[in-house]
Amino acid sequence: MKFKVFGDRKRPVVILLHGGGLSWWSYQKIIDKLQDNYYIVTPIIDGHGEDGVTTFISIQDSAGKLIAYIDKEFHGKVFLLGGLSIGAQIVTEVLSIRKDISSFGIIESALLYPIKGTKLLTVPSYKLFYGLIREKWFSKLQAKTLSVPEDMSPTYYEDSLKITKESLINITLSNGDYILKDSIKDNTAKILIIVGEKELKIMKKSAAYLHKLIPSSKFYLAEGCSHGELSLKYYEKYLNLIKNFIECTYKD
C-alpha cells in the first residue's frame, strides 16, 4: 500500500480511500479543495495503479496495513477516515478493530452483505474476460459503471492496465465475501453513512444495516446518484455534506 500526501502536515489529518479499480486520482478535485486546511492522505490500495505490482490480498490485510501506517505516522489517531466502495469496506474494518482511531468516519457505498455465488463465478469468468480490460471500448463501459468523470477516463484506462488477474480476483472475492464485525458499534467516531438512491438494493440494505448498528451515526441518501457518483461527480456537494456534518457535530 502506497500513500500520497498533500498539504501541511501540521493540519488535521484526513485519509480517503478510493474505490475498486480506481486510485488516489479519483479524489484529486476533493484534494484541491481540502489541502489548504487539512493534511490529506490518499492511500493507493494494493493492486491498483502505482501499486499494481503489489498483489491485493484482502480487505482485512489492507485494513491492517492502514492501521500500521496511522500508528507509525500519526501516533494512532487521525481527524477523519473515509472511503468509497472497497475503500469504505476497509474503513469499516479499521473502525471495527480500533474504536478510537479517528474522530470522524465517512462510509460511502460499502457492501456489507456477502453476495451468493461470488467464489463460484469470479475465477472462471475472470479467466475468460481478463483480457478485455486492455480494450479501450471496454474500459469506457467500466468507467461509466464506476461513475468515473469523463476527464478522468484516460487515467482510469492507464491504471486498469496495471492490475493483475490475481489482484482482480482477490478484490472481487474479498468485496463479495466481506462481513462487517459487530464491534464497529463500539467505535467512538462520529460516522456519516452515504449511499446512492440508484444503487443496488443490497447496497442500500448495507447502509441501513450499518446505520442501525450505529444508532448515533448519520445516514444520507444521495438522491439521483448511482454507486460512487456523489464523491466522484458531485464532489462539491459531497464536500458540503461533510463540512456540514462536521460543523453540526461540533455544535452538538
Tell me which residue range forms the domain holding 132. 2-251
- 200: how many CB neighbours lie within 10 A of its CB? 15
Which of 9, 42, 56, 11 minimizes the C-alpha distance to 162? 56
What is the residue-level pLDDT of the chain in tens, covering all 252 positions?
Answer: 999 999 999 999 999 999 999 999 999 999 999 999 999 999 999 999 999 999 999 999 999 999 999 999 999 999 999 999 999 999 999 999 999 999 999 999 999 998 876 666 666 676 667 777 788 888 888 888 889 999 999 999 999 999 998 999 899 899 989 999 999 999 999 999 999 999 999 999 999 999 999 989 999 999 999 999 999 999 999 999 999 999 887 665
- pTM, two decimal places: 0.94
If one counts the domains in the chain, the total is 1
**Locus of grid cell 463460484:** 120
CATH number at residue 54: 3.40.50.1820
In angstroms, the Cα distances linking 18 to 85, 121, 159, 179 are 8, 25, 13, 19
